[in-house]
Amino acid sequence: MRSHRWTLAALFLLGPAAALADVTLRVPVVTQVQGAVFYRTSVTIGNGSGSHSVNIALRLIYRSSADGTIQNVTLNEDPLQQSRVLFFEDIIQHFKDEGVIRVQDANGSLFGTLQVTFVALNHDLNESIVEARTYSPGGGGTNAIAYVGRDVLTAGSETIRAAVRNGSFGADGTTRTNIGFVNEGTVPTTVAVSYRDGASGQVLREFTTAELRPGEVTQQNNIFTQSGVPAGTRTMIVRAQAQAVNGRISGYAVQLDSVTNDGAFFLFAEEEDDCVYSPGGN
């Protein structure tokens, strides 16, 4: 494992001015897992500044498949110079190669979120770039979904919604749909979820997830085959709400081709804040 020139703890000691300037983006899903095929996630990080370098801190948050505990592991990368790019072909493997993944988790499936913090006194959110691509082998190449890291201070809301589809596309094949939820807030929360038939509006299923710690992600696979969803259902409205006071969540859906496993990724719609601050008013 290579040595690093600075520590995250040292960064936190830089003082209030530095802390306020840090920019953190969260990637909702990074993985290294054997599913229908072998999935892994590449990550591209860019320093869009034309004037200064930044230090990069990586934080992987996942729930261990070995014992169910939440693991929170960090790596500090060498400074990223102005207008430069840092690329990881397999971000989970990078954490393994650096020796920070527990022995009991090293050979198991890993599925979690990644926080990327840009540390510089004069860095700006608009200069911070994080892109992820979860991909699998397919026909001599790869199939993939791609998405960006989002500002941890603004991503998510108390309630989120999505319209999802399943089934055939004429003679061109069929798809299946997975959905996921990320705790974007600072307090643990469960998530109350409802499925409504997109043709009738009828409630098909209601359930509550296990508690999600801050930064944790959970995923529901192949949701049109779950209990309570009648065979032949083709569309649904999915609604999810954080149950904790001041809870904040985001959600995503992935529509996967049943043969090629090629996917399409999209975020749930998020509610805008319904409280607007007015100086001197209520």
Q: Rounded to two decimals, what is the model's pTM?
A: 0.87
- Assess whether 214 and 191 both reside in one domain: yes
Q: What is the DSSP string of 158-205?
A: SEEEEEEE-EE-TTS-EEEEEEEEEE-SSS-B-EEEEEEETTT--EEE
> Do 143 and 163 fall into the same domain?
no
Q: What would the pLDDT profile of 6-35 be if each residue is shown by its tens digit?
A: 444 444 333 343 344 699 999 999 999 998
Which residue segment(s) compose the domain that 38 sits in? 8-151
194 pLDDT more than 60? yes
150-163 average pLDDT score: 97
- Which range is least confidently modeled, 187-191, 209-213, 254-258? 254-258
73 has a pLDDT exceeding 70:
yes
More confident residue, 262 or 77: 77
pLDDT of residue 257: 87
Residue 278 in any domain: the answer is no
Mean pLDDT of the chain: 89
**Domain end marker among 135, 151, 167:** 151
163 and 65 both lie in a single domain: no
Measured in whole angstroms, the distance separating CA 236 from the mean position of its chain's CA atoms is 22
Three-state DSSP at 258 gives coil
Q: Are residues 187 and 107 located together in one domain of the fold? A: no
- Average pLDDT of the residues in 73-81: 96
User: 86 with 128: CB under 8 angstroms?
Assistant: no
Same domain, 125 and 239: no
Which of 155, 164, 165 is closest to 250 using CA atoms? Answer: 155
- 165 and 138 fall within a common domain: no
**157-169: pLDDT as tens digits:** 999 999 999 988 8
Residue 276 falls inside a structural domain: no
Are both 180 and 265 inside the same structural domain? yes
Q: Indicate if 22 and 141 belong to the same structural domain.
A: yes
Domain boundary residue among 151, 183, 201? 151
Asked if residue 281 is part of any domain, the answer here is no
pLDDT-based confidence at residue 276 (cuts at 50, 70, 90): very low
The enclosing domain of 203 has a CATH number of 2.60.290.11
Domain boundary among 117, 151, 185: 151
Integer Cα distance of 17 and 120 in angstroms:
10
Q: Is there a domain that residue 185 lies in?
A: yes
CB distance 128 to 145 below 8 Å: no
Which H or E element spans position 96? helix 91-97
Q: Are residues 243 and 123 in the same domain?
A: no
Quick check: 237 pLDDT over 50?
yes
Q: Quick one: 62 and 105 in the same domain?
A: yes
Do 232 and 253 have their domain in common?
A: yes
> Number of structural domains, the chain?
2
Q: Which has more pLDDT, 22 or 193? A: 193
Single-letter amino acid, residue 280: G
